[in-house]
Structure 1
Amino acid sequence: MPLAAIIQGTPIWVWVLLVFLLSRGFKAMNSGTAPLSKLAIVPLVFTAWGILHLIADPLAGWSSVIVWVVCALAGIAGGVFIAKRTRFIVDPVANTVMLPGSVLPLVLIVFTFAARFWLGVQLATATSLSSLGICVLLSAAVSGVVAGVFGGRFLTYWKAMSARRVVQACSQGA
């Protein structure tokens, strides 16, 4: 299938999502402070995208759901591992997190988008049932891992914020 046909056949919302995700990835390359709620956006987008795919794709059955959940749990573990090795500072009063700049979010976003786009093309052009099944499972795996990595990073920030609030409340009450 020619590249022009693939690009023309891609829904506009996919390109809008790509622009949004790339903007978040480029922004993450610079250190800065962000509200905890804003840091939840990318994990929520990737989680919603994955779950929507599992619900909307007629080929996605229980095996896809299981693959997504297992890979999401693995991704969460990876995201926690990555975040714990990052020098971030939480401010429970302002409810913000100061993060150093990192290329990792952009790399994950580009990898995920490219993998999901390629798998979408494969699903649209597959000629055998077995290749369709493999693509659906691979898509669930990629989606789960990436949603998990971003979710794990967010959970680490949220947990650190909660711990600081407890410490702050105890010190004010003493």
Structure 2
Amino acid sequence: MPLAAIIQGTPIWVWVLLVYLLSRGFKAMNSGTAPLSKLAIVPLVFTAWGILHLITDPLAGWSSVLVWVVGALAGIAAGVFIASRTRFIVDPVANTVMLPGSMLPLVLIVITFAAKFWLGVELATATSLAALGGYVLLSAAVSGVVAGVFAGRFLTYWKAMNARRVIQACSQHA
């Protein structure tokens, strides 16, 4: 299938999502402070995208759900590992997190979008049922891992925020 046909056949919402995700990735390259709630957006977007695919794809069955969950758990572990090795500062009073600039979110976003886009094209053009089943499972794995990585990073910031709140509360009562 020609590239022009693939691009023209892609729904507008996919391009809007790409622009939004790229803007978040470029913003993450600069250090800055963000509300904890805002840091939840990208994990929620990738989780919702993955779950929506599992719900709407007629070929996605329990095996796809299982692959997504296993991928998400592996991704969470990786996200926690990555975030715990990053210097970040939480402010429980302002409910913000100060993060150093990093290319990692942008790289993850680009790789994920490219993989999901490629898989979407393959799913739309595959002629073999076996190939379709393999692409559905691969898509579930990619989706779960990426959602998990972003969720694991967010979980690390959330846990640090709550730990800091407990320490502050104990020090105020002492």
1:55 is displaced (CA, Å) by 0.3
1:154 is displaced (CA, Å) by 0.1
1:107 is displaced (CA, Å) by 0.3
Letter in 2 for 1:57: D
Q: Which residue of structure 2 lines up, in the alignment, with residue 129 of structure 1? A: 129
Q: Which residue of structure 2 lines up, in the alignment, with residue 83 of structure 1? A: 83
TM-score, normalised relative to structure 2: 1.00
Structure 2: distance between partners of 1:15 and 1:138: 22
Q: Which residue of structure 2 lines up, in the alignment, with residue 11 of structure 1? A: 11
Structure 2: distance between partners of 1:48 and 1:117: 16
1:106 is displaced (CA, Å) by 0.2
1:129 is displaced (CA, Å) by 0.2
> How many residues matched?
174
Letter in 1 for 2:152: G
Q: Which residue of structure 1 lines up, in the alignment, with residue 23 of structure 2? A: 23
Structure 2: distance between partners of 1:40 and 1:123: 29
Deviations 1:43-93 (A, max 9, x none): 000000000000000000000000000000000000000000000000000
Structure 1: distance between partners of 2:29 and 2:80: 19
TM-score, normalised relative to structure 1: 1.00
Deviations 1:75-128 (A, max 9, x none): 000000000000000000000000000000000000000000000000000010
Structure 2: distance between partners of 1:157 and 1:72: 18
Q: Secondary structure at the match of 1:59?
A: coil
1:35 is displaced (CA, Å) by 0.3
Structure 1: distance between partners of 2:3 and 2:123: 15
Structure 1: distance between partners of 2:6 and 2:33: 39
1:149 counterpart = 2:152: no
1:2 is displaced (CA, Å) by 0.2
Unaligned runs of 5+ residues in structure 2 are none
Unaligned runs of 5+ residues in structure 1 are none
Structure 1: distance between partners of 2:22 and 2:157: 22
Q: Secondary structure at the match of 1:86?
A: coil
- Deviant stretches of 4+, over 3 Å: none
Q: Which residue of structure 1 lines up, in the alignment, with residue 93 of structure 2? A: 93
Superposition RMSD in Å: 0.3
Structure 2: distance between partners of 1:58 and 1:172: 56
Letter in 2 for 1:143: S
Letter in 1 for 2:135: C
